Structure 1
Amino acid sequence: MEENFSLIFAARDWVQIKGCPGRWILKGDRCSLEEIIEQPLFFTTNSPAAPDEILVTPFADRGGLISYRQVDGHLVHTLNNVSGFTRKLAQLKITDVLVTDGQPGAILLVSACLLGEYCRYDGGTRPNNRVIAQVEDWRSKGGRVVPVCPEELGGMSTPRPPAHMCGGDGHAVLDKTATVRREHDNGDVTKQFVDGAHRAVELGSGATRAILKARSPSCGRGETQIDGSTQQGDGVLAALLLRKEIAVWSG
């Protein structure tokens, strides 16, 4: 059964493709993405209101993961192997691509602050138009979206003191070789972070994908707060989801 999908990037570092006027590509990702489909990628603007969002359009696929066809003058993308494609993205350390397969009932876990909920540590919110558009697309195809704030789910208030991991990232926290501590008094909040991560996974039971807040000690994917600075690693919830083989993207 064919699965319609789209790939959406968010970035502002563009270069124009030589010999292809009007087409733009994300600098630095071209070679990595060409490894996936073994063809040059061409990009078009996805939304005039958000010029940093683009739709990836592969012209062909020799690797067997992606194909496309023309229907009534429109290009319809088909992902032949969702799990294989997402594994390839993970191998290439590409974390800002969301594959939406449009399966009815598919569950997407999302950091609530990215959808406009006031649950950040400072009492604020971080609505992300790209993520909101992806969520709307997911719902329009019959999918279900579960917004979560793992820190609130762990019993912490909003607002709350900022925290960071000490001695390692979220994987180390889950392995009990690192802790999560408040910045202002070094208070240990490891239990709240771990409990909240498990509760978020329970609420999103059956989820296959997640979009989480970038660089958060709970939700960061690829970068998070460790020992007082942004370092490579995953937040506690991101690490738990990855261990359960749930694909995680940053928003």
Structure 2
Amino acid sequence: MRFSLVSVLFLTIAYGYKIKMIQENKTPKNSAKDDGFKINICDECKMQVSRFIKALEDPEKLNLLKDILKSLCPQTSYEDECAAFVDELDVIIREMEPYLNDTAKICKLIHLCENRRVDLFHKISVLYGMIGDNNEKFKNEMVCDECMFAASEVRETIENPENQRKVRDYISTEVCSKLRKYRGTVSFIFLQHIEKICSFAVSFFCVEIGLCNSYNSLKEEFVGDEVSIFAAFDF
């Protein structure tokens, strides 16, 4: 009896500690297989911009780029202007060189740096690429925990009142208004319960894409007893 009580206490503490780790993103990062997390989208963008600039310093590669771009000019409605622009490409690049050297600024301009949403989806895509890994224990523990943390952050964005207002406005004008006789029902379900619908979808995202195996554990951690978003309706 005493052993059973101690075991239950230990498991409860362990479970609570795991949830706290997920909420604070303190999941294990020391696996040899998590190299995908070491390069984020911003770093990758800056690396590719640097490679592109370095390639343009090679006259042969620059001429090849010109040939490729010129072949596309006939597909535009301003073929002559396009060809003239391509002919002056080396001059334009030389004038832009001081700006091109600031790779961080370029990547920020195209929203690949300092963009939290892009980083989240990059993390999920890296995790998804690990599904084929033969190490089932690694998949079940680290990959699932990382996905759950990313999903939690996505849910925070979705639960933002301003974001929910934008979603409601979009659904009302672009979806519900086009459903004719079902317009009222669909509008009521979605617009009145958008928060629960979004939370439910994000909560089980990691299970649905195969990054977490346990449906029941996620059910308790994310939505508790409120599993059915349509529980109030008699369908």
TM-score range, shorter chain: under 0.3
**Structure with the higher fraction of residues in strand conformation:** 1
**Structure with the higher fraction of residues in helix conformation:** 2
Which of 1 and 2 has greater Rg? 2
TM normalised by structure 1 equals: 0.22
Q: Which has the higher contact order (CA 8 A, sep 6+)?
A: 2
